[in-house]
């Protein structure tokens, strides 16, 4: 197995455990009336990925470490961070319309996809009694 896979797995385990831990800890003091944990995790993951992306442009970091942080940790912690980075990248490339279409489309279509999945599950598992 290539070394990269071990780094990806280690980052993924760390991101998963961090997400789980924060997901339990934040509501214990912030309450459950608003999804504070998800918001905080998405923002923290975006901050980590943005920091890492810029740092990796200037620092000599091994590809395995890049993968561990960006794909492993941030990917398991939150995919929202990737969404944020891709949107900013489009903006930096001057593709403003595409960036806003991607951002708005991701949010709107993501919500619709959740609703569709719920409807499909409701139809598939409807009580037959």
User: CA torsion angle for 38, 40, 43, 47 (degrees, to 10)?
Assistant: -130
Q: Over the stretch 84-115, which tens digit does the pLDDT of each residue have?
A: 999 999 999 999 999 999 999 999 998 998 89
**What's the pTM?**
0.79
- Cβ–Cβ under 8 Å, residues 7 and 64: yes
Instruction: Indicate if the pLDDT at residue 21 is higher than 90.
Output: yes
Q: Which two tokens stand for residue 108?
A: 């709107």
User: pLDDT at position 127, please?
Assistant: 64
DSSP structure class, residue 109: H
CB atoms within 10 A of CB 85: 17
Residue 43, φ and ψ in degrees, nearest 5: -70, -40
Rounded Cα–Cα distance for residues 16 and 26 (Å): 15
Q: Over the stretch 50-60, which tens digit does the pLDDT of each residue have?
A: 999 999 989 99
């Amino acid at each position: 197995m290539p070394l990269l896979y071990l780094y990806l797995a280690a980052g993924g385990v760390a991101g998963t455990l961090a997400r789980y831990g924060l997901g339990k800890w934040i509501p214990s003091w912030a309450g459950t009336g608003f999804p504070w944990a998800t918001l905080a995790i998405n923002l923290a993951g975006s901050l980590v990925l943005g920091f890492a992306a810029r740092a990796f442009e200037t620092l000599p970091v091994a590809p395995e470490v890049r993968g561990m942080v960006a794909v492993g940790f941030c990917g398991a912690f939150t995919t929202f961070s990737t969404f944020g980075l891709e949107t900013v990248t489009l903006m930096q490339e001057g593709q403003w319309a595409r960036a806003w279409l991607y951002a708005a489309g991701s949010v709107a279509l993501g919500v619709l996809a959740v609703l569709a999945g719920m409807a499909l599950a409701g139809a598939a598992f409807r009580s037959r009694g």
